[in-house]
Amino acid sequence: MKILLVEDDAALGHAMSVSLNRAGYHVNWAHEGHEADVALHEQLFDAVILDLGLPKIDGFEVLRRMRGRMIMSPVIILTARDDLDDRVKGLDLGADDYLTKPFKLPELEARLRAQIRRNNATLASTIEYGPLLLNITDKMLMVNGNQMLLSPREFSVLEMLLSRVGRVVSKEAIVETLCKWDEGVGNNAIEVYIHRIRKKLEPIGINVLTIRGLGYLLQKAQS
């Protein structure tokens, strides 16, 4: 499990990093908000432990930008601010849990395990993005409550795009995914599937962007 720890207090950050590493997590430690924002833009994390009082960019802004890019990894906020308004603001911005300093490391680890379990259970069954609801178990795509028909390969490509919203998905990664359950798939075939998916999603305000030389990016149309 890959965790982003965002904490500017050197002693506390070191203690949490050591404890989480011992618990079997791979920890990336960002010491300030801008560093965390860059890490979230470039990498996927199973969970984020986020302090609020950060230099350069505070924790609220890091969280706002993260959710704005549809990065839905669970977030546990850590803060010395024992203020109801701050807790409400953090939860409204998309935090999943809130832990006030000082705290015990075993409690942090227990809350982290609970959030990861909950997130994995949700991801294992459905993915929601705008008007789309992708049911992975039943292989069904719902749009505003109505079913949209997709071929099995179109479904697999869309599932991959939805599971990495906010990140570019390379053509090679899509080919590798499809080849796991079917015969070889060429680049031209991927372009056909992308074209079909694009035609189905554009009328409901979701675009599949082609990022030249890199791959494809799912994005809501600008209103």
pLDDT of residue 68: 85
**Band of residue 57 on the pLDDT scale cut at 50, 70, 90:** very high
Lowest-pLDDT choice from 47-51, 83-87, 144-148, 169-173: 83-87
- List residues bridging with 65 in a β-sheet: none
- The pLDDT tens digits of the residues spanning 130-148 come to 889 988 878 899 998 889 9
- The pLDDT tens digits of the residues spanning 62-73 come to 999 998 887 888
Calculate mean pLDDT across residues 114-119. Answer: 86
Amino acid at 81: R
Q: Could you count the other beta carbons within 10 Å of the beta carbon of residue 87?
A: 16
Separation between Cα atoms, residue 90 and residue 82, nearest integer Å: 12
Where is pLDDT greater, at 180 or 217?
217
pTM equals: 0.58
Separation between Cα atoms, residue 78 and residue 95, nearest integer Å: 11
What domains sit in the chain, N to C, each tagged with a CATH number? 2-124 (3.40.50.2300), 130-220 (1.10.10.10)
Phi, psi torsion values for 144, nearest 5 degrees: 50, 40
- The pLDDT tens digits of the residues spanning 169-212 come to 888 888 877 765 455 567 788 899 999 999 999 999 999 999 98
